[in-house]
Amino acid sequence: LNDNLYNETTRQTRIHNMNKMIDEAALKTRRISYELRPLMPDNFDPTSAIRQYCIDWAERTGVKVNLSIDSVIFNYEKSLAIFRIVQEALTNVTRHANATSVKIDLIHTRDSLNLVIEDDGIGMSEEKTCQQKSYGIIGMKERAELCNGILTIHSDRGTTVELTVPFIKH
């Protein structure tokens, strides 16, 4: 009789734990789906999307964000690529940096668009910045190429992600 009671209690505990894991997985899936879907309709200003994402991200993570963003108009593909680079850089800050603040500059010069994302976290080794298995870094570099841009990552005290997109002169 005690074995049956023990087995029933164990079974109920396992069911409860599985339900909890399923609920957590569903929440994570919804969050990931939200982050993956394009937030910018065809006529949406990418700077507004970046600004709003940073506000939401700062509230969610508790990491302070200092924004300096010039208004920039690109086609949808370039705008989305730039937005996704910001998104991935902030995701990396959340996962790896242990940062308390992030500074983001999106500056429009005569010749180029310059995006600099700088955190005050723990930084990373040179080999990690070049790692071929880092899907986040690979994705950022591929998006930079879509913009005809150059993406560099420096890490010493904190990490700096820089994107330079030259303007094509006709």
Tens digit of each residue's pLDDT (9 = 90 or more) over 108-121: 888 899 999 999 99
32 vs 145, higher pLDDT: 145
pLDDT at 128: 62
Distant-in-sequence, close-in-space partners of 25: CB < 8 Å, separation ≥ 6:
none
Q: Are strands 64-69 and 158-166 parallel, antiparallel or unpaired?
A: unpaired
pTM, to two decimals:
0.74
**Banded model confidence at residue 18, pLDDT cuts 50, 70, 90:** confident
From CA 7, how far away is CA 153, in angstroms rounded? 54
Tens digit of each residue's pLDDT (9 = 90 or more) over 37-92: 555 555 667 788 889 899 999 999 999 999 998 887 777 788 888 999 999 999 99
User: Are 112 and 157 spatial neighbours (Cβ–Cβ below 8 Å)?
Assistant: no
pLDDT at 24: 85
pLDDT at 43: 60
- Enter the DSSP assignment of 88: H
For the purposes of burial, counting CB atoms within 10 Å of the CB of 79, is it exposed (0-12), middle (13-18) or buried (19 or more)?
Answer: buried
Largest Cα span, the chain: 86
2-24 exposure pattern, b = at least 16 Cβ within 10 A, e = fewer: eeeeeeeeeeeeeeeeeeeeeee
From CA 36, how far away is CA 29, in angstroms rounded? 10
What percentage of the chain exceeds 70 in pLDDT? 81
**Banded model confidence at residue 136, pLDDT cuts 50, 70, 90:** confident
Query: Is 132's pLDDT higher than 70?
Result: no
| Strand order from edge to edge, sheet including 101-108 | 64-69, 101-108, 112-119, 158-166, 150-156
pLDDT at 25: 86
